[in-house]
Structure 1
């Protein structure tokens, strides 16, 4: 049911999603230990609740105004480098919690922060002051190159066939590459990845 409802049931956990997950767990948990309730009743309850949640998700997508009530809205808790105490108080966040959330984003001093936004899932998004932002290639006048995603070829001793297909290689090529590096075979490898232009990154057991 979580798979059908989408990843927001796991990652972007709003208060409404949290409640829906609790109710779904209670429906299944209580039914499992009740001998008088058959499988059909469990499935009925899960499907009915899932359908209700799915309907509400559709409503929030179609009608923007419903999102504020069902999902909440972000709050600016730091503006122009100053903590917005009223917003913290409204969202029941104390200073220790705020600083904890900032440290989780790699910010250890308030002097670095221009804006901080408390998201609906409880995390804080941070815009640093220009003096504390990491320079980009454009800032340093460095010519940019195309970004590529590394491809896993071996994970936990097993060959990832899809990875080989994506780079137009076969298992024989991979095994030969391992042998050339003194590795007996895939079973000796924790993981191996291939990055176009950089080659292999291999870690053995």
Structure 2
């Protein structure tokens, strides 16, 4: 009984340790590696998950061995990423390069075959780009992260304001969150000198801070807020 409890405690401890190590490694590698996964990133994630899983429940192998293995593997991946940013040839070898699937309105079948890309898949990716007629596409490129980028033929492109000589609005500011989940974000108030402005807005709208669930200074400078009691008698969706 005691042995079983100790083993369970060991598994729980190792699982928590595995999660913490994976989070730490992910932060070291950065957001770009997560959001733009290439070939080596994909392989890294699979192997990292396998190692972390073994660290969690394979109590026959020393925890220290797993930590050394995880850190070594992460270091190699980080070095490859650094080298890829310094050298174009290494970057091509590690991450590959984008592949053109449609050029001048013509589907490149040989590139499709290399990637095992079917017309069904191509049409699906085009629909995700709001293109339901392949005739509209001048160029289509499969990026390293697996997403499709397209350039439409001139006659199918959207008309921009500059094409019509319409005056553009001034650049809008980034929204500044002031209250999140009922908690005042003091840093945002101080860094943007909004303490007095915030007090004036609360007074103008007769709102008390404890009643606010979320508040933000929007990009156009207006004050938006949401209170806990919305006073909606018949909500459309209530769980």
TM-score bucket (shorter structure) = 0.7 to 0.9
**Unaligned regions of 5+ residues in structure 1, if any?**
none
Indicate which of 133, 137, 158 corresponds to 2:183. 158
TM-score by length of 2: 0.75
CA contact (8 A) 1:79 1:116 kept: yes
CA distance in 2, matches of 1:96, 1:204: 47
TM-score by length of 1: 0.86
Given the alignment of the two structures, is residue 95 of structure 1 paired with residue 119 of structure 2, yes or no?
yes
Paired residue total: 203
Listed one character per residue, the Cα deviations across residues 78-104 of structure 1 (whole Å, up to 9, x for unaligned) are 112222222112111111211221222
CA distance in 2, matches of 1:2, 1:40: 20
Once the two structures are superposed, the pairs formed by residues 56-205 of structure 1 within 5 Å of their partners are 56-144=80-168, 145-170=170-195, 173-174=197-198, 176-185=200-209, 187-189=211-213, 191-195=214-218, 197-205=220-228
**Unaligned regions of 5+ residues in structure 2, if any?**
1-24, 229-239
Partner of 1:24: 48
Inter-CA distance 201–79: structure 2 relative to 1 (3 Å threshold)? farther
Q: Which has the larger radius of gyration?
A: 2
CA contact (8 A) 1:175 1:185 kept: no
Inter-CA distance 175–103: structure 2 relative to 1 (3 Å threshold)? farther
Inter-CA distance 56–164: structure 2 relative to 1 (3 Å threshold)? same
Higher helix share: 2
CA contact (8 A) 1:158 1:187 kept: no
CA contact (8 A) 1:159 1:186 kept: no
* Worse overlay, 195-204 or 56-65: 195-204
CA contact (8 A) 1:152 1:194 kept: yes
Q: With CA pairs under 8 Å and 6+ residues apart, which has the higher RCO, 1 or 2? A: 1
* CA deviation after TM superposition for structure 1 residue 71, in Å: 0.6
Inter-CA distance 134–88: structure 2 relative to 1 (3 Å threshold)? same
